[in-house]
Amino acid sequence: MLSRRLLRVKVMQTVYGHFRGGDSSLQQAEKELFHSISKSHELYHLLLLLILDVRDLAEKRIENGLNKKRPTYEELHPNRKFINNKVIQQLRENRQLLKYIETTGLSWKNNEQYIKDVYKHILDSELYQQYMQSDDDSYESDRKFVAKLYEKVIGQYLPLYALLEEESIFWNDEAEFVVSIVVKTIKEFKEENGEEQALQKEFKDEEDREFVKTLIRKAILNNQDYQALIRKFSRNWDLERVAYLDIVLMQIAIAEFLEFPQIPVKVTLNEYIEIAKHYSTPKSGTFINGILDKVITHLKKENQLEKIVDRE
């Protein structure tokens, strides 16, 4: 379910915590990693549920208007386009989502005020107003609207991220990634799939599960060897003053170079440079690029990267 980049970030966070914590075992670190990934999968489902609760609030508001003693003309003739959205209804009936809710008890019931705030934010958006005025009631139109709603409105609502960070330490810095996965999911919806429409799994496949397991094991078990290699090619740098996160990222990158010959060297290098830019210091990307370039040259010279296939 998670992109390879986010899986790399999860490994980075866990390896960093392992060495900074000082007393956890490899088994504990692995357990923490997989729990963190599971929490991301939970967040994915929680965000899918969000649109259902917003839709139910919209329907409740319509019913309240109809039940007034002196309803206005607008209240007597409500626009039901949003609450009748075919994709939202399909999501409500989705077997995978229903099973997940039944198993976990996941809901927004403790954040009802937030649902109201999101609903108001949606009502005020130009996207919503254009959708409600449109005469196009096709499935395709409904699907495009829901995808854009997550991407352009819900995903840009800053209080969302503040709330999620309060709810779980595992949701810090990753809600934006998960929103993008929700958007991808909605874009893949097909009317003919009905309630059987596939949602994202915790791992795309067993290969992804093995990817993170191998990365964390090798980065921790070969910690001293990898650090020695980093020190060898950072003689002009005082590593004691370098952000420790940069060292962790380079250790994981080296593990990936050596353990995954099917992943091109350039792909791995670019991934960790981008992660460094986002999570570490402004100079981290340049520093990591310089050191890892030298490490790559050394490993190739030692014939340790013979199976790596670079795609230009």
Residue where a domain terminates, one of 178, 196, 214? 196
Q: For the segment 53-64, what is each residue's pLDDT rounded down to a tens digit?
A: 999 999 999 999
Q: Is the pLDDT assigned to residue 307 strictly greater than 60? A: no
For residue 164, the enclosing domain spans 4-196
pLDDT band per the 50, 70, 90 thresholds, residue 176: confident
Q: Could you tell me if 174 and 257 lie in one domain?
A: no
pLDDT at 239: 61
Q: Could you tell me if 108 and 226 lie in one domain?
A: no
Total domains present in the chain: 2
pLDDT at 174: 83
Q: Could you tell me if 67 and 131 lie in one domain?
A: yes
Q: Is the pLDDT assigned to residue 124 strictly greater than 60? A: yes
pLDDT at 311: 45
Q: Could you tell me if 39 and 146 lie in one domain?
A: yes
Instruction: For the beta carbon of residue 163, count every other beta carbon within 10 angstroms.
Output: 16
Q: Could you tell me if 162 and 49 lie in one domain?
A: yes
pLDDT band per the 50, 70, 90 thresholds, residue 306: low
Mean of the per-residue pLDDT values of the chain? 91
Which DSSP symbol is given to 239? Answer: G
How far apart, in whole angstroms, are the C-alpha atoms of residue 59 and residue 284? Answer: 50
Q: Is the pLDDT assigned to residue 310 strictly greater than 90? A: no
Q: Is the pLDDT assigned to residue 66 strictly greater than 50? A: yes
The CATH number for 297's domain is 1.10.940.10
* Dihedral angle computed from the Cα positions of residues 1, 211, 10 and 164, in that order, rounded to the nearest 10 degrees: 10
Q: For the segment 181-207, what is each residue's pLDDT rounded down to a tens digit?
A: 999 999 999 999 999 999 999 998 999
Is 308 part of any domain?
no
Average pLDDT over residues 242-259: 93
Residue 43: closest CA among 207, 143, 173, 213:
173
Residue 264: closest CA among 311, 296, 303, 304:
311
Q: Is the pLDDT assigned to residue 93 strictly greater than 70? A: yes
Q: Could you tell me if 141 and 243 lie in one domain?
A: no
Q: Could you tell me if 190 and 233 lie in one domain?
A: no
Q: Could you tell me if 187 and 247 lie in one domain?
A: no
Instruction: For the beta carbon of residue 267, count every other beta carbon within 10 angstroms.
Output: 13
Amino acid letter for position 98: L
Q: Could you tell me if 35 and 152 lie in one domain?
A: yes
In DSSP notation, 138-200 reads -HHHHHHHHHHIIIIIITT-HHHHHHHHHH-GGGTTTHHHHHHHHHHHHHT--GGGGGG----
Q: Could you tell me if 112 and 230 lie in one domain?
A: no
In DSSP notation, 86-146 reads HHHHHHHT-HHHHHHHHHH---SGGGHHHHHHHHHHHHTSHHHHHHHH-----HHHHHHHH
How far apart, in whole angstroms, are the C-alpha atoms of residue 170 and residue 43? Answer: 9
Q: For the segment 3-18, what is each residue's pLDDT rounded down to a tens digit?
A: 899 899 999 999 999 9
Is 101 part of any domain?
yes
